[in-house]
Structures are given as structure tokens and as C-alpha cells.
Structure 1
Amino acid sequence: MTTTRIAAALLAAATLLALAPNAAAAPVASPHATVDLQPELNALVEQGTSTAALAEVRDHGRVVWRGAAGTADLATGQPARADGRFRIASTTKSFVSTVTLQLVDEGRLRLDDPIEHYLPDVIPNGGAITVRQLLNHTSGLYNYLDDPHVRSNTEAGNREFLTTGRWIQYTPQQLLAISTAKPPYFAPGQGWHYSNTNYIVVGMLIQQVTGRSWREEVESRIIQPLGLHHTTLPTDTTAIPGPHAHGYFKFPEGPGDVTRLSPTIADAAGAGISTTDDLALFHAALFGGRLLSPAQLTEMTTTVPIPDAPDHAEYGLGVVRYDLSCGQFWGHPGEIPGYSTGLLGTRDGSRQYALSYNEYDKSDSTKSTRLYRAFEEKALCGDPATAG
């Protein structure tokens, strides 16, 4: 569950690499405090890749730009709202990883302990898979979403998901069983492959250690203290609460509305719902040092290579590091049927952008990547035409 721009790297990368922690992040150039992103946001819609797009940019705690483009509901023509809610998909992983690292801070678990220590007899070869390897996708566990019986990105797969697949209620145990029925991609620690299964297991780990669900821990440790009033973690409801843009599949005969779906297909790997404002606030708090100790924030931003990744991206513990034209930035993308999410900002938490769009037309991935990259670069690095 990642944005299309890096889906090839995050979901299909299977090259085996030796793992090496990343050196300290390079300093980030200071971008312009204000920027007008409406042309780039409009382009996501006008050039046919999206039905709706909404975004926000913050700088040193202040909203410096917020906007929306496109249509929230194709049936009524209602325009998209900048304060609309949306499914954040794999951006949820940053919340879950933060809670896990808080538990490390509290001495309740250790990153390099085998998962077998906490969840005995739950995962084959669990004695060789560490908590760290689950968080940074080096465990080798098969991604249950790679199973075409669960989700296929073909037109036929989209039709099946629209009619039946999106209503299926999964348990974490069922998702794990789908994964463990397949051979691992590689031995633990001997490669990198994006696998939502890793975070299904981390969700189970949080419940085992705390006695409460991962949702309850995220709510009490992050959502409530930060006042993220529009962020929710649904258990089985298929609806998005409050104002929101609908998500669609594009079919030759017209759009298929996929807004409602069972969040159980994502669970701790991507069930969250939020707004651009809440996501930016979370990012600022996380990288500003309000949620983790310096030691655990360093652990979170210690990375391993992502094979064939654009922007020289590397994966930490529930966060991704990207190299843009003006420096290094941190965050996590998300993709689930109907919704793509971007969340990225500086390592010191001083600037961030959050974006949601319905990537309706996936026929030209090059154009989609170009449009997304133009938005990202301008949001974080400023407008080259006005740079001094």
C-alpha cells in the first residue's frame, strides 16, 4: 500500500542486498516559507490522472499553503474540500512504528530480539526474525497483498475487488496465514522486500506487549495527545467519516466508486483515515522530538537500501528517506484502492507537506510520476523560478 510513484520500488523490489545502516542525514537547504501549489494540484486533475486532490504545506508550525482541486463526488459534482478526510493507507505504518519505538523507550521490548520471544509459535522461523527486521521490511515474509486471490491490480482484479473483495472481513491471523502459506522472499536480514505482513505482525506484537490493540495504543499515545481530531483507525466500518472525496477505479464504461471498503484488509499495515492537517501535525511532532527520545528517533531514521528506488530512497523503521534537489526528506507514502497519500518533511520537523489524491487514471505512470514529482519538489524545495 504505497503511492504509485514508488510502488515499483516498494512492492516489487526483490534484489538481495547486504544491509548497511545509513550515515547521518545531510543538511537540508532552507526552502521558501511560502509557495503557491495550486497549479501543480490542478495539473494532477486536469491532466487526467486524478478526480480529486488536496494538500497542505506547513513551515515552522504555520500553515503556509492549503488547497484542493477536482471533484469530491462525480455523481453530484460537489467540489473537493481541502479539509476532507481520506484513507492514508501505508502512512499508517509511521504511527505504528512510533508506538513500537515508544515501547522500546519504555524497556518493554527490544528491536533486535527475535519476534519468537514475544509471539511464540506464531511465525515460521520466528526465532530468526527480529522486531527491527519487521519494521524495516528485511524479514523476508511474503506480502499477503502479492497473493492475487487477495488483491490484483489488473482491470479484472479491480472489478472483482469492487464487487466482492472490498467487503471481505479479514482477521490479522487470516492475513498472516495467507503470508506464511507462501515461501519467504529470502532469509531474514538477507534482502529487502516491502511486505504489509510485517506490520500485521507488529500490530499483534503491540497487543501482546501492552494488552491493548495497536489502535488503542496509537490513539492514546499519538492521536489524543496531539489533538488529531480528524484521524481515525476503523476496525470494521466501511465508511469514511466526515467530508471526503470519493475514490474511484477507472473502467472503459465509466468510474467505479470504491470509497467504501473493509479496513481489515489493511489492519496495522494501513487502515488509518486522516486529513492533510493532521498528518502534517503528526510529522512535525514526530521529527520535532515530541514522540520519541533522540535515541529511538535515530533508530527510526537508520535506513537500509530500497532496490531500484527513485530519489535514492532508503527505508528506516516505518519511514522512508528521499533525496530531493534541495536535500533529504522523511515520511511515508500510502496507497489503497481509491486513495494515494504523500507525507514528507524535513528531519528536524520544521517543514512538511501532506497530499491526498485519487489516482483515477493509471494508464500513464510516467506522466503521473512527473506530476507528483513537480508537486513534491515545489512543496519542499520552493519554486525554482523565484529561488534566490
Structure 2
Amino acid sequence: MRMSLPCKRIAASAGIVALLAATMAGPAAATGHRPVQRALDTVVAAGTPGAQLTTRGYSLRSGVGDLRTGAPMPWRGHFRAGSVTKPFIAVLVLQLVGEGKVELDAPVTRYLPDAGTGAVTVRQILQHTSGLPDYLDDVVDVDPETLRHRGAEPAELLAFAMKHPPLFPPGAKWSYSNTNYILAGMLVERVTGRSVQAELGARILRPLGLRETYLPVRGDERLPAPHPRGYLPAKDSLVDFTEFDATIAWTAGGLVTTGNDVNRFLSALLGGRLLRPAQLAEMKRTVPRDSGSEYGLGLGKLYLSCGKEFWGHGGDIIGFATLAFASPDGRAATVEANRDPVSPAVHANMKATVDAALCAE
């Protein structure tokens, strides 16, 4: 999101950021992971204070987690996952499909009669083929300081989107819209009669032992320790945006987690521990997306330089950018940077880091 921010800033010129990009790696870097470390260093060199890579076997870090103190990225640090939230929510919906409580090709209005989404189906919201406008388009140019403590209720976010006409008829093509996953979260709550936080805990987090992952409620603005600071670019400086009411993203992007937890989730998902075979197959049925890659139901498919197939998602939310992918054979890697929005070069270098980590195994 591109935003202007007339508020107190933390000085962080490009030159200072470059100076702070010194590598700070764990013992793994000295035992055969130098190419991966070099790839991670390019993420910082491209313009983010710090970055961390977590695989199922080791972690690496680069740059700083706190521009004020110069402290490094903390090991096992918590961060805001952005749209890496979406696979978690898609799993909840698909579990309900497997239990016969939801039909993938039924209209969303069967479960949310007041949604006003017409013929849009459950499958189409999970796959971003609904044609629904993205509610974030209504807040993208808002001064972020007005969003920091604002928060939102799901119905309010949906109302932002529904003020606008559909982008295209349902199913006609692919277009990423965060509105889809607000609807998915509302659907989970309506069908189960419980909060999405309760369903996440009962169905995914506790069974997998993901103790560092949760979806914040309104008013919960702080990250648990340890965590890096998250920064928002504003002209020639960076603003500390760590404290933030992320219910403005809710089930489209509000999750707080760690690299270890994301890797365990993706590995369990692809290993068949969260979904029945029929629902996992549906999740992996893809359509072409506008970037030339493929998208299933809350899960993207990526082919890396080693020619192997990986599944996962990227995430961007004010202060944090994330990329996480895994394979059915147990390999998984998550890289996060403590700045967002970031440049295309940062995104490209994050992908290169994931590629270097996963293809080296």
C-alpha cells in the first residue's frame, strides 16, 4: 500500500540502512548455508532494515530488528503475517466442507444471506475468482496514522467493498481481493457459531502445537516478545508501525505468527494432517493468476529453480512482508522482512532466498 504519513519519523536514510545491513547469522551459516545467507543479505541490501529466514532445520538473519537500538532481528521473533493468514482460513472452510457443513460450489449467500454477493460461490471467494472489489482500495490512500488504532469489524470491511460494482462476473477470471477472505472468516463464524479465533485454536493451532500463532482481536495492538520492530516507509524515512490494530485486515491478513509455526503449518497441511484427501485435492486445483503463476484455494503454486513444486503464500501488511513455501516431502522455508510496503526488488530477493533455501535441501 502506498501511503503518505505526516507524523513523527525515525531517521533511516538509504545510506544508514545500507550500513545496518551487516550480516548477523546463526551457527548454521558457518556449516554450509553461506549461499542462502548471501541471498538473505540481498533482501536487506535492497532496502529493508532486517530480514530473517526460517527453515525446518536452521534459521538465518540479516540486518537489524530495531533501528533505534541497532539490535539484530530476534531469533524466533513474532511478526504480522499479512496474507499468509489466507491458507489458515481456507483450511477452516475446507474442513467444514469435509464435514458436510459447507458446499464449495454453493453461493456464499446460502450461509451469509445478507452478504449481497449474488451468485458468488464459496470456491470463488477462496480462489479469488469472485469478481468482488478489494475493500482495501477504500483505505489504501488513507493516512496510516488514522488506521493505527482504528481497527474494524468484519461487516464494516465488507461494506467498503460492496459500495462498488463487481469487477467481472463470478468465475470469469482471477483477481486478488482481500474482501474474499473477510467473507470466508464471516462464513466460518456463521456456520460454526463460534469466533474464528476459537475455530483456529481448536482445528489448527492446538492440534499442531502452534503456540506462537494467533489472530488478534480488536484493540490488541502489541506483538509478543521477542519481535522485531515493523517499519513503514514515508518519503525519505521509516516510521515505526509495530503497534497497530490489525483487525483492519482480520481474516484476510491479521495473523501474528513465527517462521517456525508457519513452516509447521504448511508442512502439516501438505502432509495431509489438516484436510481429508478430497479437500486437499480441491485446495490444490489451480487457476492461472495475473502474475503467470497458479493459485488454488488459499494456496499458491510455485516452481523454483530446481524444478520442484512448492506451495504457500506471500503476505504484506504495514511493517512486515513475508513469503512462505513448503513441499509435501517436508521442506519448508519462511522469510520475513520488517518493512512494508517494500520495493519489487525486495520481493524478488525474498523469493530468491526461499529458492536458495529450498533448492539446497
**Partner of residue 262, structure 1:** 245
Residues 182-331 of structure 1 mapped to structure 2, 5 A cutoff? 182-236=164-218, 237-307=220-290, 309=291, 312-326=292-306, 327-331=308-312
Aligned-residue offset at 1:369: 4.2
Distance 2:183 2:108 in 1: 9
Change in CA separation of 1:264 and 1:360 when aligned onto 2, cut-off 3 Å: closer
CA drift of 1:358 comes to 2.2
Contact 2:259-2:334 within 8 A present in 1 as well: yes
CA distance in 2, matches of 1:287, 1:219: 19
1:38 maps to 37
The structural deviation recorded for 1:166 is 2.0
Which residue number corresponds to residue 72 of structure 1?
65
- Describe the SS at the equivalent of 1:331: strand
How many angstroms apart in 1 are the aligned matches of 2:37 and 2:284? 31
Say whether 1:371 aligns with 2:349: yes
Given the superposition, is the C-alpha separation of residues 342 and 373 from structure 1 closer, same or farther in structure 2, using an over 3 Å criterion?
A: closer
- 1:151 aligned residue (140, 148, 167): 140
Instruction: State how many pairs are aligned.
Output: 329
What is the CA distance between 1:370 and its match in structure 2? Answer: 4.0
For the residues of structure 1 that align with 2:340 and 2:288, how far apart are their CA atoms? 30
- CA deviations over 1:173-210 (Å, ceiling 9, x no partner): 11010000011110111111101101111111111110
Secondary structure of the residue that 1:145 maps to in structure 2?
helix
1:340 to 321, 331, 353: 321
- Shift in Å, 1:359: 3.7
CA deviations over 1:113-158 (Å, ceiling 9, x no partner): 1111111132241xx11100010011111100122xx123xxxx5x
CA distance in 2, matches of 1:209, 1:265: 22
CA apart distance, 1:242 = 1.4
Cα deviation, 1:57-89, whole Å, max 9, x if unaligned, reads 12xxxx1x2112221111111111121000001
Deviation at 1:226, TM superposition (A): 0.6
**Are the counterparts in 2 of residues 286 and 349 from structure 1 also a CA contact under 8 Å?**
no
* Partner Cα separation in structure 1 for residue 77 and residue 146 of structure 2: 27
1:254, distance to aligned residue in structure 2 (A)? 2.7
SS across alignment from 2:338: strand
Specify the alignment match of 1:53 in structure 2: 51
Q: What is the TM-score with the length of structure 1 in the denominator?
A: 0.81
Q: Kindly provide the CA deviation profile for residues 3-32 of structure 1, in whole angstroms up to 9, marking residues without a partner as x.
A: xxxxxxxxxxxxxxxxxxxxxxxxxxxxxx
User: Equivalent of 2:88, from 95, 109, 118?
Assistant: 95
Higher relative contact order (CA 8 A, sep 6+): 1
Give unpaired runs (5+ residues) of structure 2.
Answer: 2-31
Identity between Structure 1 and Structure 2 (%): 42
* Cα distance in 2 for residues equivalent to 1:225 and 1:93: 19
Q: Secondary structure at the match of 1:325?
A: coil
Alignment-mate amino acid for residue 380 of structure 1 = L
Supply the RMSD in Å over aligned alpha carbons: 1.8
Distance in 1 between the 2:147 and 2:347 partners? 28
Residues 219-252 of structure 1: CA deviation (Å, up to 9, x unaligned): 1110111111111210121111111111112334
Partners in 1 of 2:277 and 2:33 — Cα distance? 31
Please give the alpha-carbon distance, in whole angstroms, between the structure 2 residues aligned to 1:212 and 1:349. Answer: 34
Does residue 352 of structure 1 match 2:351?
A: no
Letter in 2 for 1:280: N
Please state how far the C-alpha of 1:373 moved relative to its aligned partner: 3.2
Bigger CA drift: 351-360 or 226-235?
A: 351-360
Does 49-58 or 96-105 show the bigger shift? 49-58
CA distance, structure 2, for counterparts of residue 200 and residue 370 of structure 1: 28
In 2, Cα distance between equivalents of 1:262 and 1:74: 22
Normalised by the length of structure 2, the TM-score is: 0.87
Contact 2:316 2:340 in 1 (8 A): no
